[in-house]
């Protein structure tokens, strides 16, 4: 991964090539979420986690996510949340502290360092735990127990797990009997394309993608996120069809959309949506 | 001099083999025949088996040779003291476990309600069995027509399942979150809003 | 003269008890707790257990104490020679292994806390798998808003990993001294995707 990150400066087009993107996807699939990825990046600094440079780490992470988004647009929301948080942390560390109640940049950096240390510690002990000789693998109980039932007051062998599983299965049967199909409340790309197409006519000038999103759906939950993803994909689709133009100032900057008059031929404006430059 | 060193090494190797033999016999679910053991221990296994047998002869556990195989067994003369409870543990029927679970989660609950939740008739034997084991007992009568009897769980139920109180039973949503309740096919599961949180990232599978 | 006879009788009774204790422990594959054993053997069971432990210490099968129970187990140093391949279907994911470690070191711990430590949502099939292995179980509810369920490890967890008690977890003192066993979420909005309190809605108990 270090190689991958080092190489990015040289030639961005190379990264977009098959092997490099596949490698990046492989790397991404190996992580258990953004914190796990940060920890892996932190280890690359080859210093004790207590002396790690959070600023450098934040930069590494942001670069990594930017690259990842080029090859995998549907990068999990967690990674983007972490990126936004790190970008904020960076600004807090670099700019003078504002007045107010908010924790200082130093505190935020310390909190992140603590989380990384804690996760590292847990990974370490998990390894130690599973390196121990385990019952049934290296250590063995009596192979032919003579059942005396000394301890069990009940002759029936039933555990809490059995009980809970029985209840869960019974509930599941009941639920699947009553509601056959759970309502899928996700935005599809087709839906978003239709919606954008109808809205674009009424929006002659540049407008942020966010302003096209359906409002008032309540909560920043799955539905809102699916709407964002679907609309984003829809703009790319429409841009490819030559029906809209896209503009973005830089990585993570708001994405602007403008309808393109049918038949207009001033062809080369359609910028690459994910361009960082 | 050299001979002595060799003796010490030999003795150590012998003890190592004796220990391994002991462990193999202990961990095996079936008697092991001499040939199999010789494959792990070496040709001297016959002598070592005799040595082990002699060591265990006066103890509470003895090494016996039955039908061509060797195995540890509790000493025959202790049998009367060991066989105090004759009943062998049995598996509780699925119907009984389900009924017990429904009573635990829905108590106080009438037999009619249990049947409507399970969707099948409850045999009288099931409730009797659960009561015999001290897991459930009759509660108050329901003040509805027919004044049906309700069922509730006992302290022994909590004891058996290692629960401090009924409140510590996982809720339906917690069961779902723990993976013990999964009623829908994976794709359709996306529509659920109740456990949105569990779906936040798919990168953990 | 009379004294001597008494001594001989006492000695015989003691040997009888030792043999019975040995047989009881040998017969069971699960650990037996001291209280149960005292019920069969008498109050001196503690001394007899220590005597048996010492007798078996150098042998291929040893008497160990785990999670308050006693059991015979093959000797630790024979592990390489007794290694049995783990069934592929029983192999645990990295997520499950980490989750188990977090529960062991931070218990009692809520699902939300586990997620904030790992920085990722717990997928379905992790907790129920660990529970199916008999390593974890629900503990008491946390007396905080939403009364979330906590998770704790079982005695079988200790037995499986050859630990006498939770104090014997590898590096546990170091981690505590370093303050790394603090399970509070530290960064707002980071990782903790599952709101524990949200899981409590629809609680039917």
pTM: 0.68
pLDDT interval class at B4 (50, 70, 90): low
**Average of per-residue pLDDT values in chain C:** 85
Closest partner residue to A145 among C29, C74, C189, by Cβ?
Answer: C29
- pLDDT, one tens digit per residue, over B105-149 is 998 999 989 988 888 888 888 888 898 888 999 989 988 888 999
Q: Are strands B149-153 and B136-141 parallel, antiparallel or unpaired?
A: antiparallel
Cβ distance of B60 and C140 shorter than 8 Å = no
Is the pLDDT at A82 greater than 80? The verdict is yes
HSE of B19, CA atoms in CB hemisphere, 13 A:
22
Q: Residue B193 burial by CB count (10 A; 0-12/13-18/19+): exposed, middle or buried?
A: middle
pLDDT interval class at B186 (50, 70, 90): very low
Cβ distance of C79 and A133 shorter than 8 Å = yes
Is the bond preceding B118 in cis, omega lying within 30 degrees of 0? no
**Residue B138: which residues within 8 A CB-CB, separation 6 or more?**
B149, B150, B151, B152
Structure tokens at A87: 């970008």
Measure the CA–CA gap between B188 and A183, rounded to whole angstroms: 8
Is the pLDDT at A15 greater than 50? The verdict is no
* C-alpha dist (Å) from residue A276 to A3, A250, A272, C25: 20, 5, 9, 69
pLDDT interval class at A72 (50, 70, 90): low
pLDDT value, residue A121:
92
Q: Among A69-83, A210-224, C153-167, which range has the highest average pLDDT?
A: C153-167
Measure the CA–CA gap between A182 and A180, rounded to whole angstroms: 7
Report which of residues A150 and C138 the model is more confident about: C138
* C-alpha dist (Å) from residue A149 to A153, A172, B27, B75, C29: 8, 34, 20, 18, 11
pLDDT value, residue A177:
52
Measure the CA–CA gap between C69 and C159, rounded to whole angstroms: 9
Measure the CA–CA gap between B80 and B90, rounded to whole angstroms: 22
Cβ distance of B72 and C198 shorter than 8 Å = no
Nearest CA in chain B to A221: B196
- pLDDT, one tens digit per residue, over A27-70 is 667 788 888 888 888 887 766 777 778 888 888 888 888 887 77
Is the pLDDT at C76 greater than 50? The verdict is yes
Q: Among A226-230, B127-131, C190-194, which range has the highest average pLDDT?
A: B127-131
Structure tokens at B28: 């095996």
Task: Tell me which residues of chain A, numbers 138 to 167, contact chain C at a CB-CB cutoff of 8 Å.
Answer: 138-143, 145-148, 150-151, 159-161, 164-165
**CA of B61 vs chain C CAs: smallest distance (Å):** 6
pLDDT above 90 as % of chain A: 5
Contact partners for chain A, using 3 or more CB pairs closer than 8 A, are: B, C
* Backbone phi, psi, residue B151, to 5°: -120, 140
Closest partner residue to C23 among B82, B180, B203, by Cβ?
Answer: B82
Range of lowest pLDDT (A159-173, B141-155, B175-189) = B175-189
* Backbone phi, psi, residue C73, to 5°: -140, 150
Task: Tell me which residues of chain B, numbers 152 to 191, contact chain A at a CB-CB cutoff of 8 Å.
Answer: 160-163, 169-170, 172, 175-176, 180-184, 188-191
ipTM: 0.73
A236, containing H or E segment: helix A222-240
* Backbone phi, psi, residue C153, to 5°: -90, 160
Structure tokens at A66: 């930017």
pLDDT value, residue C170:
94
Measure the CA–CA gap between C83 and A135, rounded to whole angstroms: 10
C185-193 average pLDDT score: 52
B62-66 average pLDDT score: 88
pLDDT value, residue A31:
81
Cβ distance of A159 and C134 shorter than 8 Å = yes
**Chain A residues close to B60, C-beta within 8 Å:** none
**CA of A140 vs chain B CAs: smallest distance (Å):** 6
- pLDDT, one tens digit per residue, over C28-71 is 888 998 988 998 888 999 999 999 999 999 999 999 999 879 99
DSSP string, A47-90: S-GGG--HHHHHHHHHHHHHHHHHH-TT--HHHHHHHHHHHHHH
């Amino acid at each position: 991964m270090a190689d991958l990150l080092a190489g990015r400066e040289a030639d961005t087009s190379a990264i977009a090539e098959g092997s490099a993107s596949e490698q990046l996807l492989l790397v991404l699939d190996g992580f258990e979420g953004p914190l796990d990825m940060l920890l892996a990046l932190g280890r690359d600094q080859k210093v004790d986690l207590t002396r790690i440079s959070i600023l450098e780490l934040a930069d590494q992470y942001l670069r990594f996510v930017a690259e990842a988004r080029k090859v995998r647009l549907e990068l999990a929301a967690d990674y983007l949340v972490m990126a936004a948080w790190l970008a904020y942390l960076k600004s807090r560390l670099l700019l003078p502290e504002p007045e107010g109640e908010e924790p200082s940049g130093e505190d935020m950096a310390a909190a992140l360092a603590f989380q990384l240390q804690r996760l590292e510690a847990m990974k370490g002990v998990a390894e130690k735990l599973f390196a121990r000789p385990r019952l049934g693998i290296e250590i063995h109980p009596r192979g032919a127990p003579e059942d005396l039932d000394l301890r069990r007051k009940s002759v029936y062998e039933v555990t809490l797990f059995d009980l809970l599983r029985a209840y869960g299965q019974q509930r599941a049967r009941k639920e699947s009997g009553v509601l056959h199909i759970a309502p899928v409340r996700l935005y599809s790309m087709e839906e978003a394309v239709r919606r954008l197409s109808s809205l674009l006519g009424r929006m002659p000038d540049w407008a942020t993608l966010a302003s096209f999103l359906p409002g008032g759906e309540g909560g920043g939950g799955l539905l809102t996120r699916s709407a964002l993803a679907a609309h984003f994909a829809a703009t790319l689709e429409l841009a490819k069809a030559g029906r809209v133009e896209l503009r973005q100032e830089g990585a993570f900057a708001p994405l602007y959309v403008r309808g393109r008059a049918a038949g207009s031929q001033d062809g080369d404006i359609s910028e690459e949506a994910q361009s960082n430059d | 001099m050299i001979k002595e060193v060799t003796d010490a090494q030999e003795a150590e190797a012998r003890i190592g083999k004796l220990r391994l033999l002991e462990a193999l016999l202990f961990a095996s679910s079936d008697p092991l025949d001499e040939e199999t053991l010789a494959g792990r221990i070496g040709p001297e296994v016959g002598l070592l088996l005799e040595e082990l047998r002699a060591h265990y002869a006066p103890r509470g556990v003895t090494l016996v040779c039955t039908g061509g195989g060797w195995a540890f067994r509790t000493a025959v003369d202790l049998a009367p003291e060991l066989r105090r409870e004759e009943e062998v543990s049995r598996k509780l029927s699925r119907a009984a476990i389900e009924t017990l679970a429904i009573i635990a989660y829905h108590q106080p609950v009438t037999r009619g309600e249990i049947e409507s939740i399970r969707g099948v008739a409850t045999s009288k034997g099931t409730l009797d069995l659960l009561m015999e084991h001290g897991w459930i007992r009759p509660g108050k009568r329901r003040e509805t027509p027919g004044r049906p009897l309700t069922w509730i769980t006992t302290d022994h139920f909590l004891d058996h399942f290692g629960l401090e109180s009924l409140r510590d039973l996982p809720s339906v949503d917690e069961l779902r979150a723990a993976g013990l309740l999964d009623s829908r096919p994976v794709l359709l599961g996306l529509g659920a809003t109740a456990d949105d949180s569990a779906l936040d990232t798919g990168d953990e599978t």
